[in-house]
Chain A
Amino acid sequence: QLQLLESGPGLVKPSETLSLSCTVSGGSISSSTYYWGWIRQPPGKGLEWLGSIYYSGSTYDNPSLKSRVTISVDTSKNQFSLKLSSVTAADTAVYYCARLNKNYYYGMDVWGPGTSVTVSS
């Protein structure tokens, strides 16, 4: 069945750019039924949606991140990616990628296991 797997550095310095990828296996990222998203969870806190992308490249992101977020898709690699610029300690979190299912009213029906990112010098 379809699986997602996040990858990227576990440690990022303040003011630098956090870069993560999500590899989709067992299915195509180019399906018209799905969007693909990023969600994060700071230690001991709740969930925050960062943004989503369609295979065509159209994106939606969270204005609370003040244009620091860039989400892109590479259909040839069956991957999508997250870049978060000018990071601070407040960006320390577990970052998840997920599939948003249009048939499920955009419920997130498949998640990656998450990758922990710490922002520290």
Chain B
Amino acid sequence: DIQMTQSPSSLSASVGDRVTITCRASQSISSYLSWYQQKPGKAPNLLIYAASILQSGVPSRFSGSGSGTDFTLTISSLQPEDFATYYCQQSYSTPYTFGQGTKLEIK
């Protein structure tokens, strides 16, 4: 199985901050990487697919980059609604696997 490791596991930040979350795959996954946002009690919501393509309707302050084994999700200017848990997920090979999540909290 391909292991996905996110860092940090949690992060405190303020509205307006620029935030970066990292995801590392245990082997190359090309660009088969998605990012999801999950709020308490809700289903995950797709933010970015193919490592860097913004899903329709997602604000442009979200961006993704990387290929191979190293990926990042960046939020350019945090808004109050961005405080949530973020997951990366590889779809290069089954079993598809998720990172352990990064909980983004208000400082």
Contacts and interface: CB of A to CB of B under 8 A. Distances in A.
* Size bracket, chain A contacts: 20 to 34
A120 B97 CA distance: 27
A46 B4 CA distance: 12
B91 A47 contact: no
Contact of A105 (B1, B31, B36): B31
Contacts of B55: 104, 107, 109
Given A46-B98, A49-B96, A63-B95, A107 B46 contact: yes
A64 to B, nearest CB: 7
Interface residues of B, number: 26
The binding surface of chain B is classed by DSSP as: loop
B98 A107 contact: no
B44 A47 contact: yes
A55 B96 CA distance: 19
Interface string B74-107: 0000000000000101010011111111000000
Interface of B: 1, 31-34, 36, 42-46, 49-50, 53, 55, 87, 89, 91, 94-101
Given A46-B98, A61-B95, A106-B96, 14 more contacts: A37-B96, A47-B44, A47-B87, A47-B98, A47-B101, A49-B89, A49-B98, A96-B44, A106-B32, A107-B89, A109-B46, A109-B49, A109-B55, A113-B42
